[in-house]
Amino acid sequence: MALHQILFYLLVLFLPIQLGRHFWPSWTYIFGLRIDYLSPTVYLTDLLIIAVLISWGFSGSRSKEERFFKNKKRLIPLGFVFGFLIINCYLAQNQGAAFYKFVKIIELIFLGFYLSKNRFSFSLISSISSLLAIGIFFSGFVALGQFLKASSLGGLFWWLGERTFNISTPGIARGVFRERIFLRPYSIFSHPNSLAGYLLVSSILTLPALFQKNKFLVFISLAFMTLIFVLTDSWSAWMVGGLIIFFGFLVFFLKNRNWESGLVKGFFPMGFFLSFFLFTTFYHRFSLKKDSLDKRVILNRVAIKLISRRPIMGVGLNNFIPAMSRQDPIIGQSYWLQPVHNLYLLILAETGVIGLGLFLVFIAKSYQRLFSGSCRKDRLAKPGRPSFRFCLGGCLTAILLLGLFDHYWLTLQQNQILMTLVLGLIWQEP
C-alpha cells in the first residue's frame, strides 16, 4: 500500500477530531469579539491533507493528472472559477477573511481531485467505511458522556477539539423533553446540528462495510449512532434522515423487488415510522424552537438585504458576518454572530448569482455522473445490496437538504472534509 493511501486512511480516521491552532489577526474581530468563523486555523486534518497530496505527488503515477492539466476543456472552466474567486476576494471589504476562505477552498479542491484520480477497490471502500464507523463510535462516546454529565468532559477531549461548557453556559444548545431541560451534546464538534449532520452522512457511507465479514463494529456504531442522533435534538437532521431512509429504501425495494433482504426488512419500517413521527410532530418541534427559528428568520432577512446590495459578485468569501455587522449593528452586537443558516443564501450573499450558479451547475453535473453510470463505484450492485453509487447519492441528497437549514457544510472543518469525500468519490474516474 502506498504512503499516500495510508495517510488518507489516517485522515478518514481522524476526520471528527477538531484539534487545531487558531490565529487571531485584527480582521478576525467584530465589535472586539473573536469570531471563530473568521479565524485562520491549521487543523490536524489540514496537515494530513497536505501530507497526502505531497506523498501522492512524489508517488510517480501521474499520467492521468498530466493529461488532465493538458485538457483545455477542463482547464478553461477551472480557470474561470479561480479567476472569479480571486476577483471576489479582492472586492471584499474584509480581504483577510476572504483570502483565507479562498485558500481553504483550494485545499478542498485538491483533496477532491486526489479522490477523483485514485481508484478505490471494494475492499478499500469497505476499509474507509470501517474507519468512518470508528469515528462515529468515538464521537458518540464523547457525546453520551456530555449528555449524562450535562457539561463538557475536559481533559484529553479538550485537546481533540471539545469546547468548554455546561448546561448553564450562555448561548449553549439546550433541548426540552417532558418539560425538563437537557444539554444537547456537542461531542468534539462546534454544534449539535453539525454533529447530527456528520453522523447522518457518515453512517450512510458505512453501509459498504455491512457486507464484509468483520461487520460487528459497523452494526454497533450504527446502533450507537441512532441513540446519539436522537440526543442531538436536531430537528432538521431528524427530518432529512427520515426522508432519506424512507425514500432511499423505497427506491431500493422497487429496483430489487427483494423483501427477503435483511437490510430492507430492518430499515424500511424504521424509516416509515421515523418519517411519520417527524411529520406528526412537525409543528410541535417548531414551537419548542421558536427562539432559534426567529433568529434564523432574521438572518435570512439580513442575507436578502446583502444580496440586494451586491447581487452579481456578492459581499465576498467569508464576509457574511463582517457585512452583517455593518448592515445591522443590533444583530451584530448580540451573540448571534453567525452565517445565515441556509447554504444557498450564504453562497448567494457571499459570491452572488455567479457563485451560486457555478455551485448549482457542479451539483447538477455530480448527479448526472451518478445517474449516467460514469461513477465506477457500483461494485455493490448485487441482489439485496445497495450499490455504492446509491449510497453516494443518498449522502449528497442529505447534504443538500440539510443545507436548507444550516451552514456547517461550508463553514466547519469536519463537515467540509466529509462533503469533499462524498463529491470526490462521485467524480472518481474509471
Q: What is the mean pLDDT of the chain?
A: 82
pLDDT confidence bin for 263, thresholds 50/70/90: very low
Domain of residue 344 covers 3-426
pLDDT confidence bin for 236, thresholds 50/70/90: confident
Amino acid residing at 229: F
- Is the overall model pTM greater than 0.85, yes or no? yes
Could you give the C-alpha distances from 180 to 146, 175, 177, 422, in angstroms and in order?
17, 8, 5, 38
pLDDT confidence bin for 274, thresholds 50/70/90: low
At residue 408, does pLDDT exceed 50? yes
Total number of domains in the chain: 1
pLDDT confidence bin for 253, thresholds 50/70/90: low
Residue 175, SS3 per DSSP: strand
The pLDDT value recorded for residue 64 is 52
Q: 184-206: per-residue pLDDT in tens? A: 999 999 999 999 999 999 988 88
Q: What residues form DSSP beta bridges with 41?
A: 22
- CA pair distance 286, 291, nearest whole angstrom: 9
| Of 240, 193, 190, 230, residue with least CA distance to 396 | 240
- Other C-beta atoms lying within 10 Å of the C-beta of residue 230: 11
pLDDT confidence bin for 356, thresholds 50/70/90: very high
Residue 182, SS3 per DSSP: strand
| Residues in the chain, overall count | 430
Lowest mean per-residue pLDDT among 16-20, 72-76, 125-129, 302-306:
72-76
Instruction: Identify whether the C-beta of residue 126 lies closer than 8 Å to the C-beta of residue 203.
Output: no
Instruction: Identify whether the C-beta of residue 239 lies closer than 8 Å to the C-beta of residue 278.
Output: yes
Taking the CA atoms of 291, 176, 288 and 228 in sequence, report the sign of the dihedral they define.
Answer: positive
CA-based angle 143:45:234, to the nearest 5? 30
| Of 175, 132, 172, residue with least CA distance to 152 | 172
